[in-house]
Structure 1
Amino acid sequence: MLGRTMYALISLSDLENDFINPYDLTTRLNRFVAVEYGAQFVLTAALLFTGKWFLGVAQLLLTAFLLHSWSVRQHVVDATDVFRQLPLQKKRRLIMFGAFLFCFVMVTYRLIESIIHGLLTDEGRETAKKLFQDAAASLHHY
């Protein structure tokens, strides 16, 4: 969904710079609205049901934002009114991009943390601890 939001931002910038016409833009963006909303609901439910409360609540806020945009009919782009909607659509997509990027970074961090803690043995933990301490100590010389 991070890539999809970035694709939407690039498409909106292309329209702003007259690289594509409004009808092509609306075709590009409106084609995946239902998939985007469905994936968001599934992701939020999966995070909450598996007990990942911090990320689940963050995704729940984004889901509420998407439901609000659905209720005020801002979830699709109209080809006849796209130039007036352009600033609002870019702002909306930037908010979504920031939320998805935050969650991506958090998931990546937790994945790496789980790998480090789960796969190392006691001897490996001691070696890794010494390695990280030596690396941290060498940073003070710069």
Structure 2
Amino acid sequence: MADIFAWLFSFFTLIALIIIIIYQLMCLADLEFDYINPYDSTSRINKVLYPEYILLGVLFFFYVVTGHWVMALFCAPYVYYNVKLYRQGKHLTDVTEIFNTLSREKKQRLFKLFYLIFILFLSLFWLIYTSLDDHED
């Protein structure tokens, strides 16, 4: 039963991460279509960047602590990429360069979104598998 709660926590954490990435993509789309100015767009994206990094770190740590090694290995490249960006100082969106890097920023977030959706499907699979396995006992 504890495994089901672990997978539920994982599922809802991944949903929160997906919502954060979609919000960032919406801010970039609003900027692209001139619905919002660059300063507001970058400040909104930068406000949700640290919660994204923290949530992903908590999820990775949770997988390691609970012994879900395969899921931890799937999260490791994403965690490594975020840590690399943070250490290089490239994690925040720059208001003066946003129009030059808009295409790269959108591609980066789309890749993150698809990667999180893949991990979400794996988590959902393990949630269903675990609940069916517990039900048979």
TM-score (norm 1): 0.79
Question: Which is bigger in relative contact order (C-alpha 8 A, separation at least 6)?
Answer: 2
What is the CA distance between 1:83 and its match in structure 2? 0.4
C-alpha separation in 1, matches of 2:100 and 2:85: 16
Q: Which runs of 5+ in 1 are unaligned?
A: 122-142
Larger deviation, residues 61-70 vs 31-40: 31-40
Pick from 81, 84, 108 the counterpart of residue 100 of structure 2.
Answer: 84
Q: Does 1:107 align with 2:107?
A: no
Q: Which runs of 5+ in 2 are unaligned?
A: 1-16
C-alpha separation in 2, matches of 1:73 and 1:90: 19
Report the count of equivalent residues: 121
What is the CA distance between 1:74 and its match in structure 2? 2.2
C-alpha separation in 2, matches of 1:103 and 1:50: 17
1:2-41 map, 5 Å: 2-41=18-57
Deviations 1:83-123 (A, max 9, x none): 012112112111211221111111111111111221146xx
> Which amino acid is 2:39 matched to?
Y
TM-score (norm 2): 0.81
C-alpha separation in 2, matches of 1:95 and 1:67: 17
Q: Which has the larger radius of gyration?
A: 1
Partner of 1:51: 67
Deviations 1:32-60 (A, max 9, x none): 22222111111111101211111101111
C-alpha separation in 1, matches of 2:89 and 2:110: 18
C-alpha separation in 1, matches of 2:82 and 2:45: 15
C-alpha separation in 2, matches of 1:74 and 1:31: 15
Q: Percent identity?
A: 28
C-alpha separation in 2, matches of 1:7 and 1:50: 30
C-alpha separation in 2, matches of 1:55 and 1:103: 8
CA RMSD of aligned residues (A): 1.4
Partner of 1:137: none
